[in-house]
Amino acid sequence: MRFNRNNRYTGILLATAAAIGAPMPAWGQAAADEQEEATREVRRSGGSSSDVTVTGRSLDAVETPLPVQVLAGDELAHRRQGGLGETLAGLPGVHLDNFGGGASRPVIRGQTVPRIEVLSDGANLFDVSSVSPDHAITTDPLLLDAIEIQRGPAAIRYGGNATNGAINLIDSKVPKKVPVGGVTGATEVRYGTGDEEKTVVGRVTAGLGQFAVHAEGARRTAENYAVPDSYGSDRLKDSFAESTSYAVGASWITSKGYIGAAYSRMESDYGLPGHSHLNGVCHTHDLDLHCQSHGGFEDPFGGSDSHTAQIKLRTERADVRADYHDLLPGLAHARLRLSYTDYAHDEIDGDLLFTRFTNKVWDGRVELTHKPLFGFSGTFGVQYTDGTFGGINVNDLHKPFPDGAYGFDGNPNYRTENVGIFLTERRSFGAVDLEGAIRKDWRRIDVTVPSWRSTVGAELEALFAEWYGPDWRQLLESEDVEAFRSRNPTVRHHPFSASLGATWNVGQGYALALSFGHTERAPGVRELYARGNNLATNSYELGLAVGNPILGEAGLSAEDVLESTDAINLTFRANGGPLGFEVGLFYQNVDDYVFARLQEMETETGVPHNFLIYTAADARFAGIDGEISYKLTPQSRVTLFGDYVDAKLKRENDNLPRIPPGRVGARYDLAAGPVSGNLEYYHTFEQDKVASYETRTPGYDMLNAILSYRFDLGGAKSVELYARGSNLLNELAFAHTSFVKDQSPLRGRNFVIGMRHAF
C-alpha cells in the first residue's frame, strides 16, 4: 500500500448553456451520415489514436494499440435493447451484469463500473451506476448513432475509472453538420413478445444556412419478462421497465467546425426482482453482524415483505460541445466539452420512499491537438469536475424525525472536486506507429455534516441543562459533529497514469500492436464511505474511510489506498481482405485492488445477509478476447468469437467475486440486396472458481437470429422491416457477473418485430 501526501487544488467553475424545447418523435438510418462526417472530422484533426475514434466498423478503425469495436448502423439497430449492458452483451470481452429489465451494466475483461468509464461523445457520463448494481446507466441505446468499446486501459484520457476500458456513446443531439436537403430524420416502432415491449422512437434534424437544430425522443414500456418454466414461474416478478427520453439541440456550423448546445432528459421506472427489506434491521456490534431488533436498532420498514420494490429515476443534462480544426496556427484541432448533470432517483418499497440518490455534477474538458512537430502529433487536455452526491447508507427516508430525540436530521452529501491534465503524443517510424500518454489527477472528497436538531421535551431539556450547562445544545451538537467528521474524513488522492504503445503495420492489412500501461485509480464514494445496509445486494458494507478495522490494524488510512495496475496488452489485427480478425491478449498486475471481503454471513431473517468490509489486496488478471471472420462470398461472412478471463487474489485464501466465465461462439452474416440477417450461437461455460460467498454458476447455450428486409424509396428514404429472436433455445441462464444472479435470470425466448423509416 502507498502513502499519498495531501494537497488542495482548486478548479475554476465552468458554465454551460442549453437549448430547451419539447420532445418530438425520431430515430434511424440518418445517423449514418452524421457519423461518417464525425469520422472524417477526427481524421482531419490529426487526433491521437488513443481517442476512441468514431468509425463505421471496428476493423476499419484508425490503428490503436488496444482493441476497439464499434456498433453502428444496422448492426447497432438490430442489437439495441432497453439497457446498455443487454445491448453489448455477447460482444468479445463484454459480459452482462443484470438486475431485471431496468438496470444492466456492461462488464469488460472481468470488470464493470467503476473500472470502466461510460462516455457521452467523449465526455464522462455522470450517474450513480457505479454505486450499486440496481442503478441504471443513464443512456437510451435507442437514440444512439454508434457505440464504441475500447477493451483495455483508457485511463490516460478519461481518468482512473477507465482502468479496464471505455464505452463511448455517440449521439446527434448536438448536430455536427447541416443536413443535405435541409431535413433528415427517422422513426421506429417495435414490439417484443417476451415482455410485451412497446417502443416508439424518432428524430429529426433541420438546417437553415449555417445553423442546424435537432430533436429526438423515445418511449418504451415493458412488462415482467418471460423466463423458462424451469425457474419456477414463466415470468420474472418485478422485472418490468419503462422509460421516456428526449433531447433538443442546436449548432452553428462553419467550414472549420461547429459549436452547439443540447438539453436532454430521461425518466425511468423499473422493478427490482427478488428485493427484500427483511435485512433492513441488520446492524453491527464491532465486527459481529446482528439481524434482530433490539434497543435503538429496529426494522425501518416493518410489516410484510411482499411489496414491489422499484426505482423511479430522473436525469437532466445540459451539454456544450465544440470541435474546430485549424483554428489557430500550429493547432490542428480544438475540442470543448462542457456539461451539467442533475440526477436523482427514488427507491420505493410498496408505498414507502426509503432512500433517494442524487448527483449534481459540473464538468468541463478542453483538448488541443497540435500539428506535427518534429514528426510528433499529440493532444494536451485539461479536465475539471465538481460533483455533489448523496444517498448511500440511507434506508429510512420515510421515517420522520421522532419526538423526544436529538441528533442529525438529514443525510450527508459527498462533494468531489477533481482536476486532471493529460498529454498524448504519437509518431510514425516507417511501418511502426509509436504512441505515449500521461495523465495526472488531483481529487478531494469532502463530506458535509447534516443539520442537527432537538425535539426533547421540557423535562429532558432541564435535565440536560443541569448536566451540561445552559449551552447543552451546542455542546451535544459539537460532540456529534466531531464524531461524524472522524467517521467521515476528507479523503485526497493524486493518481497518475502513463502508457506506451506501438503498432507495427506489417502490410496487406495486417498489424501487431503492443502496449504497456500503468494506471492508478482512487476508490469511489461507496468504497470509501459505505456504512450500512445495501438491500439491493443483501449486504452490510463498511468502507475504507469509516473506521475500517482491517486498515486500522495495519496502521493505514483510506488515503493510503490507491489501486495501481500495470498492464500489458498484445493485439493482432487483419483487415482489407477476405480474412479479418482482431484478437487481444492482456495481463494485469494490480496492487491494492479494492474489493469487498466477506467478514460474516448472517441468516437470522431467513434471507442471507453478507457483512462485507472493503479492503485492498494484490490481484492479477489475464485473458484473451476477440473475433476472427472470413468472407465466404461478397454477401456472406462467418465469424468466430470468444473471451476468457482468469483472475486471482494474491496471498489471499479466496477468489475475486463475479468474474465472468469463458465463452466461445460463431455467427453467420448475410447481406444480399434488400435482405440481411445473421444467425448467432455461443456457449458460456460454467464458473466454478468462486468467492467465499458465491455459488457456482452453470454454463448455458445462447442462440439468436435476425432477419430484415429494406425497401429503398429513393434518395435517403427507406423503410426496413425486421425480426429478431433471442434465446431461441429458451435456456434458463444465469449471469455469474450479477450481484443477484439467482433472483434475476436472463431473459427467456423473445421475439422482437419492428419497422424503421428513414427520410
Across 198-224, average pLDDT: 97
Quote the pLDDT of residue 106. 97
- What the block records as the C-alpha cell of 217 is 425522443
Is the model more confident about 235 or about 26? 235
Sheet holding 123-124, edge to edge: 68-72, 146-151, 165-170, 117-120, 123-124
Residue 752 has pLDDT above 80, yes or no: yes
Identify whether 720 is part of a domain: yes
DSSP helix/strand/coil, 714: strand
Quote the pLDDT of residue 5. 33
**What's the CA gap between 21 and 217, in Å, rounded?**
12
Quote the pLDDT of residue 42. 36
Query: Nearest-CA neighbor of 567 among 53, 157, 158, 155?
Result: 155
Is the model more confident about 65 or about 697? 697
C-alpha R_g of the chain: 26
Residue 305 has pLDDT above 60, yes or no: yes
What end-to-end distance do the CA atoms of the chain give, in Å? 58
pLDDT tens per residue across span 689-713:
999 889 999 999 999 999 999 999 9
Identify whether 286 is part of a domain: yes
Quote the pLDDT of residue 513. 96
The helix or strand, by DSSP H or E, that contains position 45, with its residue range, turns out to be helix 31-45
Quote the pLDDT of residue 445. 98
Quote the pLDDT of residue 78. 87
Under 8 Å between Cβ of 493 and 2: no
pLDDT tens per residue across span 348-404:
999 999 999 999 999 999 999 999 999 999 999 999 999 999 999 999 999 999 999
Q: What is the largest CA-CA distance in the chain?
A: 93
With cell 423458462, the residue in question is 228
Residue 14 has pLDDT above 50, yes or no: no
Q: What mean pLDDT, rounded, does the chain reach?
A: 90
Across 682-689, average pLDDT: 98
Across 221-246, average pLDDT: 97
Size (the chain), residues: 759
Across 63-67, average pLDDT: 74
Quote the pLDDT of residue 295. 80
Residue 671 has pLDDT above 90, yes or no: yes
Under 8 Å between Cβ of 64 and 50: yes
**What's the CA gap between 204 and 143, in Å, rounded?**
12
**How many C-beta neighbours within 10 Å does residue 613 have?**
21
Beta strand 165-170 with 117-120 is parallel
**What's the CA gap between 241 and 171, in Å, rounded?**
23
pLDDT tens per residue across span 266-278:
999 999 998 889 9
pLDDT tens per residue across span 702-751:
999 999 999 999 888 999 999 999 999 999 999 999 999 999 999 999 99
Identify whether 24 is part of a domain: no
Quote the pLDDT of residue 67. 86
**What percent of the chain lies above the pLDDT cut of 90?**
82
Band of the pLDDT at 436, cuts 50, 70, 90? very high
CA 198 to chain centroid: 25
Eight-class DSSP state of 235:
B
DSSP helix/strand/coil, 398: coil
- What the block records as the C-alpha cell of 546 is 469509516
Identify whether 612 is part of a domain: yes
Residue 472 has pLDDT above 80, yes or no: yes
With cell 469532502, the residue in question is 446
What is the total count of domains within the chain? 1
Task: Tell whether omega for the bond before 133 is within 30 degrees of 0, i.e. cis.
Answer: no
With cell 506507429, the residue in question is 433
pLDDT tens per residue across span 126-181:
999 999 999 999 999 999 999 999 998 877 889 899 999 999 999 999 999 999 88
Identify whether 17 is part of a domain: no
Quote the pLDDT of residue 54. 33
Residues spanned by the domain of 230: 52-758
Identify whether 608 is part of a domain: yes
- What the block records as the C-alpha cell of 336 is 470543448
Q: What angle do CA 180, 185, 190 make, to 5 degrees?
A: 155
**What's the CA gap between 676 and 269, in Å, rounded?**
35
CA 152, 156, 162, 163 torsion-angle sign: positive
Band of the pLDDT at 21, cuts 50, 70, 90? very low
CA 584 to chain centroid: 22
Is the model more confident about 439 or about 44? 439
Residue 53 has pLDDT above 70, yes or no: no
Identify whether 540 is part of a domain: yes
**What's the CA gap between 281 and 352, in Å, rounded?**
16
CATH number at 204 reads 2.40.170.20
Band of the pLDDT at 298, cuts 50, 70, 90? confident
The CA-atom distances, in angstroms, between 449 and each of 412, 484, 486 are 6, 7, 11
Residue 28 has pLDDT above 80, yes or no: no
Identify whether 47 is part of a domain: no
